[in-house]
Chain A
Amino acid sequence: MNCERMQPELEELFYGELDARRALELRAHLSGCEECRGFEAALAREMEVYSRYPEVEPSAAMWDAIRERIHTEESTPSPEYRSRWSFSLLAGWLLQPAVLRQAAGALALIVLSVSATIYFTSRRDGGNLRTGVQPSPVADPASTPAPDPVQVPAPDAAGTSALLAAGRPAPVRPAKAKQLTDDEMIRVQVGRAEREYAGAIRLLDRAIAERKQQLDAGVIAQYESSLALIDDSIAKSRRAMRQDPGDPAARQFLLAAYARKVELMQEIALR
């Protein structure tokens, strides 16, 4: 045997990695080979030296640091996970049948209420609105096909009735409804529109809150600044309406501000 070439195998034998048959052969060789026994003794000395090479002791603070990081991770998902989580949560939430129904209902009610309000406003003001303000296709009774009364949502029956009234013989209204003056009717409609806008805003606000972390900080800042301006317009219009409940401009401003707010929030929520 060539002893130098056997060294790798002798190392394997020493560290218990050699198969049994080859180990027997090498042991037989070792018993009669002084050079290989010398190599084996050198391996044993090396091993003794290596076994005394000190290990590194973790510092006392190491476990605390690990525990803190683990707790932080548990309470704050990773950015990648958070991003996926927020997106799927938002998508999941928006696609829930209840949310879809609420959103669709709110939007339908808003359209109907706003239309009704504008119709009443314009009728009371003798068509000023039509000439002074660009009419919305929905708001303009002349251009709006009359909806089938069967499909009209019950909660908004009064507003829809107003819409239906345009261009056709006045329907027979219940006696109670007839007792309301036009001003009262307008106030009811504005109040209803406000509530409906508020419902839509709440839905959108929740969606945006979930989505905020995904949005650029600049976009958020711009959104919040625009929102503050719109909220200011809403507050001013409300004050004007309190001072003069019959002020058509104040009503118009109020509803326009709500519409702009919903539009802005939709834009951010769907961004």
Chain B
Amino acid sequence: MSSGTATAGRKGMAFGELAPGVVARAKDGDEEAFHLIFNRYGRPILSFINHLVQDRDLAEDLAQETFVRAHRNLKALREEARFSTWLFGIARNVVYEASRQARRDEKHIPLDTPESQRLESKDLLPEGMMRDRELNEAISRALATLDDDKRTVFSLKIFHEKSYEEISEITGYSIGKLKTDLHRARAEMRRRIAPYLAERA
């Protein structure tokens, strides 16, 4: 069984951990410490938001709002060890608020793959890279078809490797609900990317 492979990787390899005391320094108003926090979490938070809204520019605006709110509320954070969960929770709330606001304003938050993320010059790419990009586009499109709850838990579990407990804390969902959502999301994603997987195999 390769369960170790799944939990090892992306999170641990892609990002270093914050040095102890950085969050405490940021809480005391140290801007450099908050910059370190941004360097550590800017990418995962922006990616998480982008998974949810599927719009690069909007994702950046909402990620900005997430960090500003985090800075504003940093003093309320009790357990530094739970900083990542706390920050993802803020990001999720920011996205949901924006989504509600957009519905009220009757704006359309695009869920289809935006033009900016589509391939513009496939012919110039090596074959392997082209297939990767096609696959990534297929993943983006498949993500966009999931409903909000499934997309959230799928992103947190698959791309950000959060535990059930952490996902529950971030989203407020019960473990039972998120397990069901996650299983259904995996199945839907699997079905949508299966042709690309078969091609790769």
Contacts and interface: CB of A to CB of B under 8 A. Distances in A.
B193 interface: yes
Contacts of B201: 45
Given A50-B139, A69-B68, A58 B5 contact: no
B6 interface: yes
B6 to A, nearest CB: 5
B38 A55 contact: no
A51 B159 CA distance: 7
A267 to B, nearest CB: 37
Chain A's interface: helix, strand, loop or mixed, by majority?
Answer: helix
B193 A49 contact: yes
B189 to A, nearest CB: 8
Given A27-B1, A55-B47, A62 B60 contact: yes
Interface centre among A16, A53, A56 (most CB of B within 10 A): A56
Nearest to B190: A46
Contacts of A52: 132, 135-136
Contact of A55 (B34, B43, B63): B43
B6 A53 contact: no
B78 interface: no
Interface stretch (A6-14, A82-90, A182-190): A6-14
Interface string A58-81: 110011011101100100000000
A14 B42 contact: no
Contacts of A27: 1
Contacts of A43: 6
Interface string B130-152: 00100110010000000000000
Contact of A66 (B50, B64, B197): B64
A148 interface: no
A112 B64 CA distance: 62
Interface stretch (B7-15, B87-95, B103-111): B7-15
Contacts of A69: 64, 68
Contact of B183 (A11, A57, A65): A11
Given A56-B46, A67-B31, A14 B6 contact: yes
Interface centre among B35, B63, B163 (most CB of A within 10 A): B63
Contacts of B1: 13-14, 27, 30, 40
B56 interface: yes
A73 B3 contact: no
Interface in A200-259: none
Contacts of B10: 51
B159 A50 contact: yes
A54 interface: yes
Nearest to A58: B42
B111 to A, nearest CB: 16
A174 B10 CA distance: 96
Contacts of B186: 11, 46
Contacts of B122: none
B56 to A, nearest CB: 7
B157 interface: yes
A15 B68 contact: no
A40 B1 CA distance: 8
B86 interface: no
B25 to A, nearest CB: 15
A17 interface: yes
A56 B43 contact: yes
14 contacts: A15-B3, A15-B7, A42-B197, A44-B6, A45-B197, A46-B190, A47-B5, A49-B135, A49-B139, A56-B43, A56-B47, A58-B46, A62-B46, A63-B35
Closest 9 CB pairs of A and B: A55-B47, A58-B42, A16-B7, A8-B183, A56-B50, A56-B47, A66-B67, A56-B46, A69-B68
Interface of B: 1-7, 9-10, 14, 31, 34-35, 38, 42-44, 46-47, 50, 56, 59-60, 63-64, 67-68, 71-72, 132, 135-136, 139, 157-159, 163-164, 179, 182-183, 186, 189-190, 193, 196-197, 200-201
Given A52-B132, A55-B47, A70-B31, 15 more contacts: A7-B183, A11-B183, A15-B157, A16-B4, A16-B6, A45-B200, A45-B201, A49-B139, A52-B136, A53-B136, A55-B159, A58-B63, A62-B60, A69-B68, A73-B72
